Amino acid sequence: MTTAFATGTDIHAEHLTLYEDLLQLDRGLNHLECYSEVFANLAGVEEVKDLGRRLVAQLPDHFKREEQTVLAAAAQVSPELAEICRELKSEHVELTAWVSAFGTALERFETSDDLEQAICQLKGAGRELTSYLRRHVAKEEDELSGFL
């Protein structure tokens, strides 16, 4: 249990960093604008690309660590917690798909000839990811507070 607690503390610290990254990513996405007059406001593009790449690279490993440590330990406590852990694992699968979609939107942004469309896709994928991920992390922090 001590190992799970230490790892739970690490997971909690990762959640706090993730919250900050999501806040910064949202700010960057909000600065991205493109108008049909071929004027583009790309003020937040570098921040979006940097944070986006980091999330795409780090989130799958975060989910695995969380499942192997905190969720595995919490699931042993009670049937209710086991069900919550199953739900959280299921959300990890969905989130992995959102992360992949955002990564694809980042790649398309880099290579697209249609800047307006690329920005719209990037903003849409980014907002969906940040919204869903923020709710998911809040749920983990709430439901697993004794393990984090």
pLDDT (tens digit per residue) in 29-49: 888 776 654 445 666 688 889
pLDDT under 70: residue ranges of the chain: 1-6, 34-44
The DSSP result for 76-102, as a single string, is TT-HHHHHHHHHHHHHHHHHHHHHHHH
Q: Left (φ > 0), alpha (ψ -120 to 50) or beta: where does 32 sit?
A: beta
Q: What is the pLDDT of residue 99?
A: 95
Q: What is the pLDDT of residue 37?
A: 45
pTM: 0.84
Q: What is the pLDDT of residue 146?
A: 85
Q: What is the pLDDT of residue 9?
A: 87
Q: What is the pLDDT of residue 41?
A: 61
> Domains in the chain, ordered, with CATH?
2-143 (1.20.120)
pLDDT per residue as tens digits for the range 78-100: 999 999 999 999 999 999 999 99
